Structure 1
């Protein structure tokens, strides 16, 4: 006997509902992602903030007014700061390119002195050419031998064997002794140079970098007036193979020095394991997020603080600058994330910058020569090296309010007549 039509329709609807629920349950994200999975729980930014209209950071800002920043003005508004470059004689042409970019976009207005440092004497040609590219004063310093040489407690045989292991893991510069020396010097010795002991702020400038945006305020005065310790443009993941024991050594240091932790620290940024779990795993608890220190505008008083000095001494004695390839970028970044108030770390979003292969390129009429919002012009996989999403997640984007106000002001003002 056939079922009545209403019963058949009800049965079909019930079956359709059952199948729908089964499909939804199967599609639900109930499974646990294993370390190394490519689709972690934290998604990348839906929109790069560099695509938003970018103005200037909040006032007060010091600007050129009359002759207040003239290079020969003994009573100028410049503060105790320098442009700082570790550079070799053979890198002169690449350095000149960086100088010309930064002079054009910023320093021709403010005339802050340049300080060049080398582990060997600068040539007459180097001095002549660099001075010809700026109206500001130039200083040429030689690194003290004891600051550059490999410390006595480093076992050279162990260093060589360790480099072999790093090389097998495709770690760059594993056998380049000068690179290890540079990382150690940049981490904890550059600010101890006798001729820099009285200098407070510096802007690190490397050879073969680009600056794209006109900056019309004194960035050093901004750091001072807004109580900022450190400024960055690019925020990346590091190679975990190069720093496998850096975080364990940091934990050892904290076990005896927990009182040095800043109350408003960025520990979550340093230890996140959601977005790149394989990095956290290989680096033994460190996310590997760091500020790319080929650009940094910073207050040397932080490096001279008891907390940082003790931390660097601990790391230096552990030997990881030579047995592994600890870079100054993760060392600086971990220290800032632990021992400084995270509100004192500033993203210089408005300074367009490139160090191959990464960019910081804001959306501003003051910028020329880079594509707004582009993070890299390399292979597409390089985009996953961007750690800004984690910084914004755990620390926040200080520019959100400023950019919204800038955009609102532009809309209110309307197009120029």
Structure 2
């Protein structure tokens, strides 16, 4: 008896779908990153693949004490902090929406925005509309932003030519050098932050993926933490060739400032990226990617850090080279602070193009668990977290 054509078609389709399903299950994993990509892939298993919960220690959860306005008596002296321009409004709104949705709608910590020019009415209106919390709009003092008097402009211009030849990004942008210097040693001196101890730095166009249900600022306070990070990278050694030699001069002049439980091995490792260590004259170039940082400003206000920043500032490398606030902050923390007071916020899903921190948690949506980058394969080499885990741990 002949089988009707529709039935045959249906059967054929079922067989094809079944074969496709089996192939999907057992096909070899593709490497879309191109020939030779495997040489850049990490040798270590990413701990973000393991189930991730809240950190150990004392945790404080949302309550009526976190209501907006003066009723919010549970909040401590802390703020969400952004250095942002008027033209970056759309990117700032996107970042605010993410962080408000995943965390700050529960705690209503204030936002403090900084700019070297006045904020527009549009910027103020649209950012305030994104949050129930207070928004503050602050102008950076001219003396904090201007190029310092001891910088030789001719030498600066010649230096930027050399840096551009070495393909150092943003080398010829004066505003970028100003930003790095301000973020390194001046932002916490602004009068608007005089009564603020903790901050969470937020930049435009970043993404937050995971619901966080505890007060991260109280976590820092109650668990004796100075600094929190998500992403740990290698820096461009061409941008900081004399940063470590100047640091060594500082160490020789101020041995009393070096903490006995420091992270010197992390700062000077040359096993993983010997080329970086050589070009940076003894510095591994490992640093916390400071576009995300949650920190206690009392550390930056301390005498050891003030002495270190002033030493670097007078050396001129914020302009003659391209010293960023990320390596400056990281070296200072690695030398001047107890390494156990630096915390990896593995449970906070975060992206700043092209890198991710994406934990394995049901609280996370919108990022691929354990994914480090969505860029070229060679970017996997920039991950310095394995060195931090090796020399310090995952606390």
Partner of 1:60: 58
Deviation at 1:68, TM superposition (A): 1.7
Query: Does the Cα contact within 8 Å between 2:109 and 2:134 map onto a contact in 1?
Result: yes
Query: Hey, what does 1:86 align to over in structure 2?
Result: 83
Residue 218 of structure 1 is matched in structure 2 by 215
CA shift at 1:325, angstroms?
0.1
SS at match of 1:68: helix
Deviations 1:228-280 (A, max 9, x none): 00000000000000000000000011111011100100000000000000000
- Aligned 8 A contact 2:346 2:359 in 1: yes
CA deviation digits over 1:303-340, x for unaligned, max 9? 00000000000000000000000000000000000000
Change (3 A) 1:109 1:75: closer
Q: Are the counterparts in 1 of residues 227 and 342 from structure 2 also a CA contact under 8 Å?
A: yes
Aligned residue for 1:141, secondary structure, equals: strand
Q: Does 1:267 align with 2:264?
A: yes
1:148-297 equivalent positions in 2, closer than 5 A: 148-297=145-294
What runs of 5+ residues in structure 1 fail to find an aligned partner?
A: 1-37, 399-417
What SS does structure 2 have at the residue aligned with 1:290?
strand
Return the alpha-carbon distance in structure 2 between the equivalents of residues 234 and 223 of structure 1: 18
Instruction: Give the alignment partner of residue 394 of structure 2, picking from 393, 397, 405.
Output: 397
- Equivalent position of 1:347 in the other structure: 344
Quote how far apart the aligned CAs of 1:397 are: 1.9
The structural deviation recorded for 1:205 is 0.1
CA-CA distance at 1:39 after TM superposition? 8.7
Helix, strand or coil for the counterpart of 1:122?
coil
- 1:131 matches 2:128: yes
Looking at structure 2, the residues matched to 254 and 60 of structure 1 have their Cα atoms a distance apart, in angstroms, of 35
Which is greater in Rg?
A: 1
Tell me if structure 2 keeps the 8 A contact 1:62–1:218: yes
SS in 2 for 1:298: strand
Superposition deviation, residue 44 in structure 1: 4.7
**Could you report, residue by residue, the CA deviation over 1:333-370 in whole angstroms, capped at 9, with x for unpaired residues?**
00000000000000000000000000000000000000
Q: CA RMSD in A?
A: 1.4
Conserved 8 A contact 2:264-2:334? yes
Structure 2: any 5+ residue segments left out of the alignment? Answer: 1-37
How many equivalent pairs are there? 358
What is the deviation of 1:373? 0.2
Q: TM-score, normalised by structure 2?
A: 0.89
Question: Structure 1 length normalisation: TM-score?
Answer: 0.84
